[in-house]
Amino acid sequence: MSADPQRAQLLQIAATMREYLETLRESGVTGFGQVVANTPKERSDPVSVSPAAQPPASPRRLVSGAGAEEARSASPPARVAASPSAAQVGDLFLSPKVQTAQTLEELRAEIGDCRRCKLCQGRTKLVFGVGDAKAELVFVGEGPGRDEDLKGEPFVGRAGQLLTEIITKGMKMRRDEVYICNVVKCRPPDNRNPEPDEIAACEPFLIRQLEIVKPRIIVALGTFAAQTLLKTKTPISRLRGNWHAYQGIRLMPTLHPAYLLRNPADKKLVWQDIQAVLREMGRL
């Protein structure tokens, strides 16, 4: 078996593992020796766990949930062997320099002519990111489209023009004042949704981008950006309009500009989300 099929197979295993871990968490298991009770409420608040019971914090994950106190006072907790996350399995394909890159230029150089997933087969250019490397605000989208694939820059097509208007006309900021990137760096064929193994392969790059930029606020554009960063399957229609947290960073999910091109009546919803961002930034 050649290297590329092996990598694709391992990434598919990683994606399946992530689905399994998410299923465990939704069932009440959040870590080694820890149980969280299921409740109808969306599990978006940090778990309240005593220091003695709390497992070591992961540098890549924000654990969320509710009802931990009740679970600890109930029957003895189930013990589940710790398993590596999909992103950690994906790290097998990363050179140490990717994980320790100190600048965006270093990170991009180490990604190189990426062949870590099957998206490389149809791309024209890898689309890394653009904007201020120390931006206070980062926009994270889903993946490149046709125009982005040809130019090698995120959000330059019709959806990108709308995002630029949101930034320049709505927020009264310059596009180069913010940082813009995507979950996956190569265009999915026919602009289809990115698949779990493709997200697993690219997510470590996104994580490192955000670690380098260190924004104060992230705006997640659309379903895949929001669900990938928040580790949830909750629809964007329920996530948007509410503040969430990613690694201690304030995160506002909102509708993708491409969706707004098809549903212009919902622009008012995005404007509500952007106003909340402006208030958080002290610009409104």
Q: Span 94-280: which CATH code?
A: 3.40.470.10
| CA separation for the pair 31, 129 (Å, rounded) | 34
Tally of helices (H runs) and strands (E runs) in the chain: 12, 8
Task: Encode burial over 191-220: b for 16+ CB neighbours within 10 A, e otherwise.
Answer: eeebbbbbbbbbbbbbbbbbebbebebbbb
Query: Which residue type sits at 236?
Result: I
Q: Six-digit token pair at 52?
A: 């003695």
What residues does each domain of the chain span?
3-85, 94-280
pTM of whole model > 0.85? no
Q: Could you read off the pLDDT tens digit of each residue along the chain, which spans 284 residues?
A: 444 556 666 666 666 666 655 554 554 544 433 333 333 333 333 333 333 334 444 333 333 333 333 333 333 333 333 333 444 444 555 678 888 999 999 999 999 999 999 999 999 999 999 999 999 999 999 999 999 999 999 999 999 999 999 999 999 999 999 999 999 999 999 999 999 999 999 999 999 999 999 999 999 999 999 999 999 999 999 999 999 999 999 999 999 999 999 999 999 999 999 999 999 999 99
